Every structure is written in structure tokens, then in C-alpha cells.
Structure 1
Amino acid sequence: METQRIIEFPHKNMDKRPRKRPRLTWDVPPPLPPPKVLPALYCVQEFGNGGMPNYACSSMFYGAIPRTGSPPWRPDDKDGHYVFAIGENLTPRYRILSKMGEGTFGQVVECFDNEKKELVAIKIVRSINKYREAAMIEIDVLQRLARHDIGGTRCVQIRNWFDYRNHICIVFEKLGPSLYDFLRKNSYRSFPIDLVRELGRQLLESVAFMHELRLIHTDLKPENILLVSAEYVKVPDYKFLSRSSKDGSYFKNLPKSSAIKLIDFGSTTFEHQDHSYVVSTRHYRAPEVILGLGWNYPCDLWSVGCILVELCSGEALFQTHENLEHLAMMERVLGPLPHHMVIRADRRAEKYFRRGARLDWPDGATSRDSMRAVWKLLRLPNLIMQHVDHSAGDLIDLLQGLLRYDPAERLKAREALRHPFFTRDVRRPTLLVATGET
């Protein structure tokens, strides 16, 4: 018998979609696997200026797929992932339309909810104990967020969850693309500053909300910030207007709505839990984490600072995969690390420094490419002024507060929201989208 433990959640003020790189939003779904037990329903997902995606479904095998009931049992793959075919059901209630992404935790699929008659996103967790246990912790966090997020405007909303064939399945509202995917689809062209301001305001509101609930996200990055809507408009890209282009590169896309929500609470930590392990995706990892000094709420604010730079420039601030290079990049952009932090670094981080607490750079560099990657970086003010015209001064000052090395001196989320970058009388983002101004 199949176990289906279903927990329902309030269903008000919901929007639309999630998750993980590689995401397939705005892309045609990948080629379907050859049908073995059941033939597959092929759906082409198209996004444009309309509010909802259009599905062109092949009816070749449509009659062969049961509209109710579950598919035959199949063994999981070698990594514990659930094996499915497009068009079949995930429990009688949910019909699988496409695969949206995959991560270490499992997979995310887009489904049609036959009961509520809407599209949802379902995270199917691998059938391995540690991932099942982590999923139950995530559900606990999501429930806590849902109870306090009145109107569901800050974080992705959980619809329900169930245990299906030894896979924890978490059902979410379906949202639009991540900020990372929006940048990627725009050839990593930056967002206009007024849009960055609005996105930053919402991001900090969401972080402040979580911190007030004594929760630390620990994995803030553009992939985990989703636009509520997939609608977008094409506007002139004035940086390219002076050049002739056959592929239309003098136009870029901007979201019609700036509304965003946080996702992926699989790494979220309660304040009272153990904070001794490494957190955050590399590019957005705070110095106290790398140095082994322990971490808390301020690690989220460092990530926010890195994200704001990326939205302004189109590229990750610290594009690196090793600790010494990462610290060298920080010093190149922000100046020397504080002596009091260096001398307290744990044993694993001691090797990155010489006597006298000076970073072992460039002598410790692994390659000339690594040295060039650091040397090409600009100081933070110069980097921002290269991409931002008006509001550059305010943004630089805000970033210098968010990217302070010492977590005790770093801006808190509510403090950042009171910064002049957000409080000065500026043009509204709606004008920005209409005109395409930068």
C-alpha cells in the first residue's frame, strides 16, 4: 500500500513557481525519456508577455495515460531520486507537467493540482534518511513562516506536504523565474538601479522578517530569490544602441513586476541550533564563515550585499572556488582583513596567512589565472560607479555597511532599510519599466 500523509495549509493570496540551478524557466523542457511503462505526455512550455504559460501538448499518447490513480511502482535511481514520466500522476491529485530543476536534495517538478485546478511546484526529496530528515526540518520552517507571513508576500508559500513511496513531497505555490535565471536570459546584463532598489528593499524586508522569527536563511543568492510573475517587457538597452546588431542585443528584458519571494529553506537554521559548520554558497559566503569564527544573523546580510552588487553589475562579485583566492578578492575589493579577526581564525584557516597576520597572497596562489582573477577586480566604489549613475553614492555607502568584515559592525536588516539609498525621494520602479531608463 502507498502511504500518503497529507497536511493542508491555508490557500489565500497565493501566486506562482521554484528552484535550483539548472532551472528550465522560459526553456522548452528537456527531451522526454523513452517511455517504458507508460507513454509520456509531451508539453512545450512557452513564456511570453502573457501572465500564464501556454502548454502545447501532444495528444499522440494522451489517451493511454490514466487521469486518476498512481503510476506503476518503479525502483528509485541509484542516487535515491524518484523516477517518473511526464504526464503521469504523483498521487491521484497531482499530474506532472515538467521537470523544473534538480539538486542534491532531489527534484522539483511542475504539476497540475486536479483538486484546486491550478499549477503548483513540488519538491520531491530523495529517499535517503538524511534528506528526508532535512525535509521535515524544512517543513517545520515553512510552517513557521506561513503562520507569520500575513498575505504570503515575503517567502514562498507551502500548500501541503505528503510522504509518497518513501519520498517527502513538499507542494509550493508556483512562482516565476529566479533573479539568476532572469540575468542569465539577459546575457547577464544588469538591472537598472531603481529596480535594484526595489528588489533590495523587498529582500531586506524578507531577511528582517526571518531574523525577527529567530531564523537564519544561510543560503541567500539570486537562485533563491524568485520573481512572483514570469511576465516581462523588452526595452531598449542604451549601452548597445550605438552599435549595430543583428540579433537584437540592443534590447533587454525587464520584469513587469518587481515582486519577489525567498525560497529554499533547506539550510535555514534556528538561532539556538549549532552554528559550527560551513554555510552559504561559495560566492555569497561571509568572511567569518571562511575564517571559522562562527556565524549568526550577519552572514545573511553579507550575502545581501553580494547580491546587490551582482544585480547592479550582472556578475557575481566574488567568482571563486577556493578560500585563499576568495579572501584575496575580498581584500582587493574591500581592503585588508581586520587583524583581530585574522588572529582568531581557526586552525583550518591559519594556512592562508603568513606571520604577522598578512594574507599569503600572491605567493600562495594556485595559478597565474587565479592571480589575474584577483588583480582584475576593482575597489568597491569604482566597481559601482562603473555600472550605476544616479544613487551611486548612496548605494556604495549601503554596501560598505553590508560588507563590513566584522559581523558585529555589519548593518542589520532593519538598519539597512533605513539607509538613504531606500529613504530618499527617488523615481518609482514603475516609471523605470515603462521607459527603460538606466
Structure 2
Amino acid sequence: MSSIHTRQSTAQSIPNAPPSSRKRKRPAQPQVSYRSEYQSDQAGQIREYIVIEDTPEPDGQVPPPHHNLPPGLAPTVSSVFTNGGVRTRAQAAAAASIQTSIPPPSSAASSAVPPPNKRRRKETFADSTPGTTTPVAPRPPQPLAANGSASGPSGAYARKAIASRGYDAQKQLVHGGSTTWGQGGGSGGTESVRASLVSRASTQLQQPATPVYDDKEGYYIITPGDLIGNRYQIVRLLGQGTFGKVVEATDVQSKKKVAVKIIRAIPKYRDASKIEIRVLRTLRQRDPVNENKCIHLLEWFDFRNHICIVTELLGLCIYDFLKENDFQSFPRRHIQDFARQLLTSVAFLHDLTLIHTDLKPENILLVDHQYRTVNVPAPPNSRSRAIRHKRILANTDVRLIDFGSATFDEEYHPTVVSTRHYRAPEIILGLGWSFPCDAFSIGCILVEFYTGVALFQTHDNLEHLAMMEAVMGKIPTRMAVRGAKTKDEFFRQTSNANPTPILNYPGTRASRQSRKEVRGTRALEDVIKQNDVVNTRFLDLVKKLLIWEPSERLTVREALTHPYFDLTIPPEN
């Protein structure tokens, strides 16, 4: 219900308007009776409307211009403005043409309203749509001055505003089939127009606003306490990624905590989520008790155009734990536990002819991230000798998640997969990929567990390949020949009698910073020191996972039988 405040203003009788000067040939304006109405719109803001009082319909046709009339029949000012100031275009033209030659009668009880200030633009105007206005700052009612001029909108502006409103109102009625052009020119037509506008505005104000559930990027707007799927009550936001958001929720039926992945309301992400659901359903059917440490699907549903995937609630991802632990390495016993579980999960996928393609610490979740804190001395090469604090996990159980990019081996393979730091060389060279790309990613992850930082910290393909040569040795000639056919920009030919392609790095476009980063990349033997049997076997496992040729790389099933897993590693104090 809108609140209406009406201010009534009527013309007063004042002396005749002075004759027009040579500098400003503006015709004197007749008296104008108008009022301002303040109405609140649907958003609760105040809008001002200028309304001209209704006058009787003019009798007779508009007189022709006086220069076409016989002598003595030129119209007077009063005959032109018989409708109380609301004129047609012909009447306005006639008034302008005769104003300078015919002075206004001395007995006219009209007031000359001065024109509006051109430098100050009036903020109140009407939209083309009935019942709506352009947002403006509300102004208080302004009384008519004693000399007949309005301190608010001028008479000329008021006529212009009401003429615009009348035009739009008649146009609306024509489209609605209520009347046609040329009808309703008198006060009765104006009343019908006003009634139509008021009725339409009231209807719009009474209609409730459509609720908004998404932001401009298609993400669901998270509101704690919101019930999704009529079963899961949102507790808090856990994280946000490219595909959507993950929230902690309470199952109102079982009273258990769950995680709900709410996919963005964008077609390509909805389609990708359906692929993930298909994979998760397959994993649940083949492993109902979850012996292979993959995330378990509880259910899924479509809610407000968002695909929602409900799973068990887990702890932090390994990357977040590393970050909160100042990127300090994991204990060697924990690395062995992580490696065994990760290889078991991926081997299970490969047995189902499924390739994960996006293995990384962010997609490995801790079941429980509770920890204890120990003091460790600073490393020998550290500038600071202060004792550091290190978090030691109480539970090393993990789950593999995010199957949105998983691909069955017999189905379509995109050209580029995997996150940059964990991408296999055959993907960079455009040579195709299969199960071995997952093994390479696991090798990168295990080294990161050992050092606390990513093995290949780069965002450029050529620099990435140069770092691989620093870590794994030179690219094999056979692979370089194949790579030069698909990515010739990465290679140059040797200048000897038997030219062979070699990596074209640094070349001419490598920056000074890039060369510094590549020079600082160490070989695996320098990263993992072989000072005991644990490190020796761990290094051997990683080297066999990080081999250039995919066909020579250790499979994940073979990696589970590596002697490294026969060792019993004592816990760290």
C-alpha cells in the first residue's frame, strides 16, 4: 500500500505580465493550476508526480495561424487558450506567432510563470511505463510564490510532464484495447487514464518481489539456516571453487552432519556435475563399504536450478593443512600412509577404466584434521634460529574427492587436463594421455608431501618442460621427435651432422626470472637425500613414477607392491 501526500497549488490573480523584450522573445504563459503527488514505489522510495488540473474540453477547432486569416479575424490570446493551459502543438505555435503583436488583456486574471532555470535540471519525470518512475531523490513540497511562479516545477515544465504522461497513458490504452487515438480528449478521458494508472500502480505495488537465490556468476547464495532439498539445513560455508560451493549441513532426518556440494547454475557446470554423479554412483555400486578410500555419495538432487551432491562430511584438504602448518613437510610415516591410500584409490579407479585426471593435494581430504603441536629446531641453513612449531596429525585417514573431470578410457579425451603443477609431460606436448598421467601426478604429490612445496612451480609450458629436465633428466630423443611434430615451438634442431630436436630453452623469449627459477630447480637426488633406507626406497618409488615416457612409467597397481611399503617407519616425536 503506497502512501500518498498531495500538495494542491492554484494560480493567483496578479498584474499582467510585462511585454516581451527584444532579447528574449518568450510568450507570456497563461495561468496554470497543478499539484504535486508523492507516492512510494515498490522499493519503498518516494517519487514526485506533477499533475495538471483537468479542464473542460475546448470547443471548436484549433484556429489557423493568424497570417492566413482574413484581416480582423486574427485570434486573441484568450481564444487560443480556452482549455485552461493544456494546448495542442498547433495551439502552441499559434500562441507563439501572435504573442508579440497582441498584448495580453489588462483584465486577464492569469499569472505569468517564468521559465525554468536552464542550468538546473528537474529531477522529477515519468517513465514510458505506466506506474513507474525513474529513481530520484525525493523533494519536499514547495508552495507557489506570491507572484504566481512556482519555486518547484515551472508551468511550462508541468505541461510538458503531463503531456508526456497523457501520451504514454493513451498509448497504453490503445494497446490494451480500451480506446483509440482521438478519443477521451476531455476530462472524462483524463479520468479514465488516471484510474488506469492508479489501478496498475496499485497492482504492481501489491505484487511480492521475486526472491533472488543466485549471484551474478551463478553461485548459490549461502544463508545459514536455509533448508535445501527439504532435508538439509545449511550450517556454514566450507569452500568455493570453479564448479560451485561446498557447505556443511545437518540432515534433519538423521541429525548427522553432511557436506553438500552446490553446483553453479550454469549449463556447462551442471553437465559436468552429472558426469561426476555418474562416476560416484559407479564407485558406490562397486565398493559399497568404501574400502578404496573414495568419497561416498549419499544422494543428489536438483534444487532451485542447482545440482546438489550430498556426501559424508570430512576435514581439511591436505593443501590447506600444509598451508596452516607453514608449508612444513609431513612426517615420513604419514607420507607412507598417504601414499598407500592414494595409490589404492587410484588403482581402484583404473580397474574400472576410469582416469581421475585432476589429482592434487586439494582433492585429498583428511577424515579428521585434529593435530598435536611439537617444537622443532630451525634447519641448519635457516637465518632464524628460533624454535618452530609443527603440527602433527592424529589421524592420517584420507579420502579422494572431485571426480568432475574423471574420464573413462574409452570415452572422449580433452586435449588438456590436470592442474598445471601436476600435469604430465605427454599432456603438455599434446601426445595424448591415459592412465599413466595419474601416476605422474601422484609422483609430484609425494614429493610435495616430503618438501612441503610444489615440485614444479610454474605457469608456462616451455618453462615447465625445462624444470622437468632439471628434475628428471633430459627428455628422451624419441619423445622429443614426437613432441616436435605437435609442439614445434618448444624445440630446435641440433647443428650436428644428424640433427635431432632438443628443448628450445631458454631461447630468446625466456625472462631473467624464468631462467633463475629453472636454475633453482633441483634434481630428485638432491631433493630426497639417500641417508637411510626409507629415503632410498622412497626416492626409487618417486623416480619410477616421474618418468618421461608414459609407457615406461610405473603403474599405480605396480607401485603398491614397491619395497617402500614393506618398511615400518617409526613415528616422529
Q: Please state which band the TM-score falls in when normalised by the shorter chain.
A: 0.7 to 0.9
Structure 2 counterparts to residues 69-80 of structure 1, below 5 A: 73-80=211-218
Aligned pairs (5 A) from 1:171-186:
171-186=310-325
**TM-score for the superposition, normalised by structure 2:** 0.60
Residue 330 of structure 1 corresponds to 468
The residue correspondences of 1:379-390 to structure 2 (distance < 5 A) are 379-385=523-529, 390=533
Aligned to 1:368: 512
Alignment of 1:11-410 (within 5 A): 73-153=211-291, 154-239=293-378, 245=386, 250-345=388-483, 349-355=487-493, 356-385=500-529, 390-410=533-553
Residue 389 of structure 1, CA deviation? 5.3
Structure 1 residue runs of 4 or more that deviate by more than 3 Å after TM superposition: 238-245
Assess if the C-alpha contact under 8 Å between 2:295 and 2:399 holds in 1: yes
The worse-fitting range, judged by mean Cα deviation, of 234-243 and 201-210 is 234-243
Instruction: List alignment gaps of at least 5 residues for structure 2.
Output: 1-42, 44-209, 494-499
Shift of residue 119 of structure 1?
1.1
Cα distance, 1:366 vs structure 2 = 3.0
Higher relative contact order (CA 8 A, sep 6+): 1
- Letter paired with 2:433: W
Partner of 2:150: none
* Counterpart code for 1:394: R
Shift in Å, 1:344 = 1.2
> Structure 2 CA distance, aligned partners of 1:142 and 1:181?
24
CA distance in 1, matches of 2:435, 2:229: 39
Rg comparison, structure with higher value: 2
| Matched AA of 1:182 | F
Matches within 5 A, 1:412-423: 412-423=555-566
Q: Is the 8 A contact 1:149 1:155 kept in 2?
A: no
Q: SS of 1:344's equivalent?
A: helix
* Residues 248-291 of structure 1: per-residue CA shift (max 9 Å, x gap): x5221111111111000000001111224201000000000000
Amino acid at match of 2:223: A
Q: Are residues 115 and 251 of structure 1, via their aligned partners in 2, closer, same or farther at CA, if it must alter by over 3 Å? A: same
Alignment size in residue pairs:
356
Partner Cα distance (2:529, 2:326) in 1: 21
Structure 1 runs not aligned, ≥5 long: 1-35, 37-71
Matching residue's letter, 1:371: R
Residues 367 and 390 of structure 1: is their aligned pair in 2 closer, same or farther, counting only changes over 3 Å? Answer: same
SS at match of 1:92: coil
The CA deviation at 1:364 is 4.4
Stretch of structure 1 that moved more, 355-364 or 173-182: 355-364
Please give the root-mean-square deviation of Cα atoms over the aligned residues, in Å. 2.0
Residue type of the partner of 1:229?
D
Counterpart Cα distance in 2 of 1:311 and 1:127: 35
Write the letter of the residue equivalent to 1:234. Answer: T
Q: Which amino acid aligns with 1:106?
A: G
For the residue of structure 1 that corresponds to 2:222, the secondary structure is: coil
Mean CA deviation greater in 85-94 or 167-176: 85-94
TM-score in terms of structure 1 length: 0.78
8 Å CA contact 2:334, 2:396 repeated in 1: yes
